[in-house]
Structure 1
Amino acid sequence: MRTLIVDDERLARAELRRMLAKHPGVEIVGEAANAADAAQMVASLDPDLLLLDVQMPGGSGFDLLAALEDAPEVIFTTAFDQYTLQAFEASALDYLMKPIEPQRLAAALERAAARLGLAPTPSSTPRKLFIRDGDRCWFVRLEDIRLFESEGNYTRLYFDGARPLLARSLLQLEQRLDPQQFFRASRRHIVNLAAVRGINNEEGGGLTLHLADMAVEVSRRRAAALKQLQEF
């Protein structure tokens, strides 16, 4: 796994380098001491994994992930903070307490490798969003999101029983989505076609898409485009 270490403490980065040297499946591609530098290095180095400190001057690890278009796999590293730990545990995010124990590092690396696959490539690694809404955080694959709903300059996402609000517009998100899988049903909605369970024809030429727990109306103009897709 191509790994980028992000921590504002030089000694902490050196300790991680020492510990990672015992894992032949890990290649350290760089180090960053703050979120701004890390963002540039993610863009240029395309790492598979971030070992990411939570609290750093000038921007937290959460701030970094929120700024990335495509986030790599992440293992957070953090000093003791009960509030932070509760957020991690509630969100099932992988984290390591400082000082980091070798056994926990090995287990976290193994889980990250499993999520990436045995031979990950940019084309095969699922694209993900990092989402933070209040005290909850998620890493979610784009294909697991069944509906994107515009709320002004924000977008509400629907997946796995969760409905967090993301601080990005629907237009920004649409530019990242595969138009063969995600359909712009209206000004407010983008639907994952894989989540559609049924379609009703409406008067005037419109359509209604039925998902597992909701229905989305499609305008007549957009309905014509939908009918041209091979899936339907």
Structure 2
Amino acid sequence: MNLKAVIVDDERLARKELRSLLVDFEEISVIGEAKNLTEACKLIEVGRPDVVFLDIQLRNENGFDLLKQIEQNFKLIFVTAFDEFAIRAFEINALDYLLKPVNPKRLRNAIERLFVEEHEEKQTELRKLEIDDRIFVEVNERSYFLQIADISHIKASGDYTEVYKTDGKRTLIEKPLKEWDLRLPEKHFTRIHRSTIININRIEKIETLFNRTMEVRLKNSDEGLSVSRRYTAKLKEKFG
């Protein structure tokens, strides 16, 4: 298994040092480097890396802002001189958090975790579901079939997801949002936020708020669901 990597750091020597450490891993191919977020976004969109090594304190920029500018279809490993951002990093599901100067052993551990996760994801890749399909789920030691068409929206809750049904009922299921995102039919479901997937057939109205952000209202639901800027264009495409 060969994986593509991108290094984002405003210091040339730091990029050079990390690249030299990654030479020891034949399965990792560094396809490019970026010194700021603009370069990083372009490189990621074109190169589609499997993993991004990201510094946090960039010159006049914050590495966390990268995730606001681009859809995260890659694993993220932070590489920084500051340890105070570790909790926030893991809250956004970073694969690892390495302190500078990078310890080769810690880097090896991170790479091993990367390959384990990539392997597990490939093992769990399943066929796309259709809107008329049913899936077998287990909830509180009770098993039943869930009709895909009966799903109104889904919210992330750690390693679980809260599935909201069209009848207003809510179920906590041991399945990560990423797996739902891979399997649900794109014609009927779309992601509107890092933590939310909606059934577009259930949309009642879409509102533009005062700060130019968008909010979706679904049928039989009083809750307004925020649309992050990253997914706004994707939602608009669904409606031509």
Residues 2 and 28 in structure 1, CA contact (< 8 A), matched pair in contact too: yes
Partner SS state of residue 117, structure 1: helix
RMSD: 3.4
Moved more, 65-74 or 180-189: 180-189
1:22 equivalent in structure 2:
24
After superposition, residues 74-113 of structure 1 pair within 5 angstroms as 74-82=76-84, 84-89=85-90, 93=94, 94-113=96-115
Residues 51 and 77 in structure 1, CA contact (< 8 A), matched pair in contact too: yes
5+ residue gaps, structure 2: 127-150, 162-184, 190-197, 206-215, 225-240
What amino acid maps onto 1:85 in structure 2?
A
Residues 7 and 54 in structure 2, CA contact (< 8 A), matched pair in contact too: yes
Residues in 1 aligned to 2:152 and 2:69: alpha-carbon distance in whole angstroms: 22
What amino acid maps onto 1:110 in structure 2?
E
Residues 49 and 72 in structure 1, CA contact (< 8 A), matched pair in contact too: yes
Moved more, 109-118 or 5-14: 109-118
Residues 65 and 71 in structure 1, CA contact (< 8 A), matched pair in contact too: no
Shift of 1:159: 1.3
1:178 equivalent in structure 2:
186
5+ residue gaps, structure 1: 125-145, 149-156, 164-176, 191-206, 217-232
TM-score (norm 2): 0.53
After superposition, residues 44-123 of structure 1 pair within 5 angstroms as 44-82=46-84, 84-89=85-90, 93=94, 94-117=96-119
Residues in 2 aligned to 1:70 and 1:215: alpha-carbon distance in whole angstroms: 26
Residues 78 and 89 in structure 2, CA contact (< 8 A), matched pair in contact too: no
Partner SS state of residue 76, structure 1: strand
More strand by share: 2
Q: Are the structure 2 counterparts of residues 215 and 51 from structure 1 closer, same or farther at C-alpha, using a change threshold of 3 Å?
A: closer
1:158 equivalent in structure 2:
155
Shift of 1:119: 9.6
Shift of 1:2: 0.4
Residues in 2 aligned to 1:119 and 1:49: alpha-carbon distance in whole angstroms: 14
The sequence identity of aligned pairs, in percent, is 31
What amino acid maps onto 1:158 in structure 2?
K
TM-score (norm 1): 0.55
Q: Are the structure 2 counterparts of residues 99 and 22 from structure 1 closer, same or farther at C-alpha, using a change threshold of 3 Å?
A: same
Residues in 1 aligned to 2:73 and 2:27: alpha-carbon distance in whole angstroms: 20
Residues in 2 aligned to 1:68 and 1:78: alpha-carbon distance in whole angstroms: 21
Q: Deviations over 1:13-34 (max 9, x none)?
A: 1110111000111001011111
Residues 147 and 159 in structure 1, CA contact (< 8 A), matched pair in contact too: no
Residues in 2 aligned to 1:208 and 1:81: alpha-carbon distance in whole angstroms: 45
Residues in 2 aligned to 1:70 and 1:91: alpha-carbon distance in whole angstroms: 11
Residues in 2 aligned to 1:12 and 1:87: alpha-carbon distance in whole angstroms: 22
Q: Give the count of matched residue pairs.
A: 151
Residues in 1 aligned to 2:13 and 2:67: alpha-carbon distance in whole angstroms: 23
Shift of 1:60: 1.6
What amino acid maps onto 2:34 in structure 1?
A
